[in-house]
Structure 1
Amino acid sequence: MRYHFIAIGGSAMHNLALALHQKGDTITGSDDVIFEPSRSRLKKAGLLPENEGWFSENITKDIDAVILGMHAQIDNPELAKAQELGIPIYSYPEFLYEQAKNKTRVVIGGSHGKTTITSMILHVMDYCGREVDYMVGAQLEGFDTMVKITDDNDFMILEGDEYLSSPIDRRPKFHLYKPNIALLSGIAWDHINVFPTFEDYTRQFEIFVDTIVHGGIIVYNEEDKEVKRIVEASENTIKRNNYTTPPYSIQGGMTLLETPEGEVPVEIFGAHNMNNLAGAKWICQHMGIDEADFYDAIASFKGASKRLELIAAKNNSVIFKDFAHAPSKVKATTKAVKQQYDDKKLIACLELHTYSSLNSDFIGEYEGALDEADLAVVFYSPKAVAIKRLSNLDEKDIKNAFARKDLKVFTDPETFYQFLQSQNLNDTSLLLMSSGNYGGIEQEDFIELIN
């Protein structure tokens, strides 16, 4: 088959392009800007567009289908040409469903934890020698791409994102997968630009539960009251399996999970990750992995990229980076690091980078999110606020939102970095939470702080 990707440079899009290329399909693509690591990975595979931009002549009648990414605009000339020629156009999730419609589809949904849970499941499957197709939102150790599609595997594991599918398909991605087996980890209001009220947002999860095929299975976090309400109120004829955070202890900086097999040391930590692990165990059992094998496998799981990822450790100090940006994620991650390293000073640095986090109508949701930190720091770029066409925020707004008078607020990357340089980082946990890069500060610069 021949596929053309409009907006091939996206994180998910370029991984799908690579997966189809490895499968033997012919791939072309276009984009107006392509960043690393997408650029290098596409170039290595011979898939990097010769010129950046959109060109209607890229669309010809011999293309079997066009895959349209969210980065493209609705008036994209290549999209218009494909529509004119009557070429099938798929959003990313639509295409994945087409590839998986004859497989057992396992979809992991939730406002938080879905990437980690999907990654845990894939790690266990790999450890146990089980071949599965998949799509996950983070790079994993031992996996070449974030997407795998075959003709032979029975299962496809999909991270179920609730954001929109494409410029011409405004449905949330996870509404399109029609799972046989599904999981809901938690619900906390996000994507305020698309779902302006909490009720709008939670409605998407109600629809998701109703899309599970009749006779299918939903595994759900009973400790989340919204998840519990939605799953138990659904009239869909599905089996329901609830889970809660399993017992665990922390001894000498090591987390020990209590299991029927005895205490199992695990690489990951934090109550939220123990809760994620419980959900992953249920899913793996439904996929044929017995409990003992699950515990053997999960002990070596080190986490997904940018999910509580240890990037440096020296002189009794540690630096972690995490993708956390939504209030519930920030609170859970900060608490996890403080509990794991309770003998160290915790400096927690959060970059407000997303549309929701920079919105004055939403920012009050962060109240108390950084309370576990000994020193709490917030960075944001006024330029990012202007680009998103939001009303200005000032230091007072930020401090009031977090309800923390001693909060340090920075808007200039250099000043923020100089502040960190001025701190005594001995016996310290430095936690960096961002979906951006603090105005251009490289990871190596942060590592230098303790070298």
Structure 2
Amino acid sequence: MNVHFIAIGGAAMHNLALALHDKGYRVTGSDDTIFEPSKSRLAKKGLLPERFGWHPEKITSTLDAIVLGMHAKADNPELLKAQELGIKIYSYPEFLYEQSKYKTRVVIAGSHGKTTITSMILHVMHYHERDVDYMVGAQLEGFDVMVKLTEDNDFIVLEGDEYLSSPIDPRPKIHWYKPNIALLSGIAWDHINVFPTFDNYVEQFRIFVDSIVSGGSINYNAEDAEVVRVVENSSNTIRKIGYRTPEYRVEDGRTFLLTPEGDLPVEIFGKHNLNNLAGAKWICQHMGIDEDDFYEAIATFKGASKRLEKIAESPTSVAFKDFAHSPSKVQATTQAVKEQFKERTLLACLELHTYSSLNAEFLKEYKGTLDAADIAVVFYSPHAVEIKKLEKVTEAQIAAAFGRNDLIIYTDPDAFKRYLFDQDFRNKTLLLMSSGNYGGLDFDALKKLIL
């Protein structure tokens, strides 16, 4: 099968391209720019385009399919040529469904926790040498790629994103997958540029629950009121199984899970992560892993990439970097780190970087999210607001939104860096939360300072 990728360089797209190449497909692609690590990984397999840019001459009737990435635009010249020739055009999730429609599809959805839960499931399967197909949104320890597709595996585990499918398909990705086994971890308004109201956002998860194959099942976070409403109000003929945060204790900076076989030390920490663990346990049991085997495997799980990632630790201090940016994630992560290191001063830094977080109306959703921190810092770039063509956000608006009179706010990356590098990190925990890089923060230099 000959497949061409329009916008092959994206994190998700290049991993799908690699997976199809490994499956024996003939893969080509184009993009106007490709960054690392996609560039090197595509080059290693001979899939890196010879020239950047869009080249309609690559689109011929010899192609069996086009996979269209979100980075492309609706007027992309390669896309227009494919439409002219009548070549089948797939969005990323639609193509994944085509590859998995005869498998048992396990889909992990929710506003938060889906990458971690998917990673936990795959870690357990890998630990017990159970081979499954998968698609996950983070690089995992022990896994070479983020997408694996085979002809033979019975199960495929899919991280279900609610964002749009492609530039010409505005449906959320999760609407494509039609799961046999599903999980819904939480609902907290996000992507306001696409879902302008909370009700509109929630509706996407209602559709997802109704799309589960008749006779299938959903495990859901019974501690999230919105999730409970969505699942319990669905008339779909599926099994509905709620899960809750398991009992645990924290001692000397270590978290212990209270299990029937005794206290189990785990590498992850925080109520939200242990809630994720409870959901992952249910899914693994559906996939044939019993409880004891799950606990044995999960004890060695160190977390998904960029999720509460420990970047430095000394006898009296520790620093974490986390992808958290939405209000619910910021609050859960900040509370988790404070609970784990109660006796230390927590310095929590949040970069407002996404479209939603830089929206003046959406800012009020952050109220109280940094309350667990002893010192709270917010950094944002007015230039980023301009690039996203949003209304100007003022420091006064940010201070009012978070509801902390002592909130420290920086708009200049150099001033923020000076603040950080002037800190005495003894008996202190540093938490850096962002989907950006704080205007070019030197993390290696920061590690040396803490160490």
Class of the TM-score when normalised by the shorter of the 2 chains: over 0.9
Structure 2 portions without partners, runs of 5+: none
1:60 and 2:60 matched: yes
Offset at 1:443? Answer: 2.6
Matching residue of 1:412: 412
Amino acid at match of 1:300: T
Matching residue of 1:173: 173
Matching residue of 1:373: 373
Please say which of residues 429-438 and 208-217 is displaced more in the overlay: 429-438
Matching residue of 1:8: 8
Offset at 1:405? Answer: 1.4
Matching residue of 1:123: 123
Matching residue of 1:316: 316
Find the residue that maps to 1:46 and give its secondary structure: coil
Instruction: Give the Cα separation in 2 of the matches to 1:32 and 1:385.
Output: 24
Matching residue of 1:141: 141
Instruction: Give the Cα separation in 1 of the matches to 2:383 and 2:5.
Output: 30
1:352 and 2:362 matched: no
Find the residue that maps to 1:350 and give its secondary structure: strand
Taking the TM superposition and a 5 Å limit, the aligned residue runs for 1:228-307 are 228-307=228-307
Instruction: Give the Cα separation in 1 of the matches to 2:368 and 2:17.
Output: 42
Deviations 1:268-321 (A, max 9, x none): 000000100000000000111000000000000000000001111124211111
Instruction: Give the Cα separation in 1 of the matches to 2:445 and 2:378.
Output: 18
Structure 1 portions without partners, runs of 5+: none
Instruction: Give the Cα separation in 1 of the matches to 2:96 and 2:40.
Output: 24
Amino acid at match of 1:345: T
Are the aligned partners of 2:69 and 2:91 in contact in 1 as well (CA < 8 Å)? yes
Instruction: Give the Cα separation in 2 of the matches to 1:300 and 1:346.
Output: 26
Are the aligned partners of 2:30 and 2:54 in contact in 1 as well (CA < 8 Å)? yes
Deviations 1:147-192 (A, max 9, x none): 0000000000000000000000000000000000000000000000
TM-score (norm 1): 0.99
Offset at 1:35? Answer: 1.3
Find the residue that maps to 2:157 and give its secondary structure: strand
Please say which of residues 32-41 and 8-17 is displaced more in the overlay: 32-41
Offset at 1:96? Answer: 0.3
Amino acid at match of 2:388: K
Matching residue of 2:17: 17
Amino acid at match of 1:357: S
Find the residue that maps to 2:257 and give its secondary structure: strand
Are the aligned partners of 1:133 and 1:148 in contact in 2 as well (CA < 8 Å)? yes
Are the aligned partners of 1:28 and 1:49 in contact in 2 as well (CA < 8 Å)? yes
Find the residue that maps to 1:348 and give its secondary structure: strand
Instruction: Give the Cα separation in 2 of the matches to 1:94 and 1:258.
Output: 41
Offset at 1:54? Answer: 0.9
Offset at 1:63? Answer: 1.1
Are the aligned partners of 2:164 and 2:170 in contact in 1 as well (CA < 8 Å)? yes
Find the residue that maps to 1:12 and give its secondary structure: helix
Amino acid at match of 1:330: V
Instruction: Give the Cα separation in 1 of the matches to 2:165 and 2:4.
Output: 17
Find the residue that maps to 1:331 and give its secondary structure: helix
Offset at 1:139? Answer: 0.5
Please say which of residues 16-25 and 275-284 is displaced more in the overlay: 16-25
Taking the TM superposition and a 5 Å limit, the aligned residue runs for 1:367-406 are 367-406=367-406
1:214 and 2:214 matched: yes
Instruction: Give the Cα separation in 2 of the matches to 1:315 and 1:340.
Output: 15
Deviations 1:303-362 (A, max 9, x none): 000000111112421111111000000000000000001111111111111100000010
Instruction: Give the Cα separation in 2 of the matches to 1:58 and 1:441.
Output: 40
Amino acid at match of 1:174: I
Matching residue of 2:447: 447
Find the residue that maps to 2:14 and give its secondary structure: helix
Are the aligned partners of 1:115 and 1:137 in contact in 2 as well (CA < 8 Å)? yes
Are the aligned partners of 2:421 and 2:446 in contact in 1 as well (CA < 8 Å)? no
Instruction: Give the Cα separation in 2 of the matches to 1:186 and 1:320.
Output: 23
Find the residue that maps to 1:304 and give its secondary structure: coil
Amino acid at match of 1:272: H
Are the aligned partners of 1:315 and 1:450 in contact in 2 as well (CA < 8 Å)? no
Matching residue of 1:159: 159
Instruction: Give the Cα separation in 2 of the matches to 1:22 and 1:412.
Output: 45
Offset at 1:2? Answer: 1.3
Amino acid at match of 1:223: E
Instruction: Give the Cα separation in 1 of the matches to 2:446 and 2:161.
Output: 30
Please say which of residues 331-340 and 12-21 is displaced more in the overlay: 12-21
Matching residue of 1:333: 333
Instruction: Give the Cα separation in 2 of the matches to 1:53 and 1:157.
Output: 33
Please say which of residues 106-115 and 315-324 is displaced more in the overlay: 315-324
Are the aligned partners of 1:216 and 1:239 in contact in 2 as well (CA < 8 Å)? yes
Amino acid at match of 2:185: S
Find the residue that maps to 1:165 and give its secondary structure: strand
Amino acid at match of 1:129: E
TM-score (norm 2): 0.99
RMSD: 0.8
Instruction: Give the Cα separation in 2 of the matches to 1:429 and 1:288.
Output: 40
Q: Percent identity?
A: 70
Instruction: Give the Cα separation in 2 of the matches to 1:195 and 1:308.
Output: 27
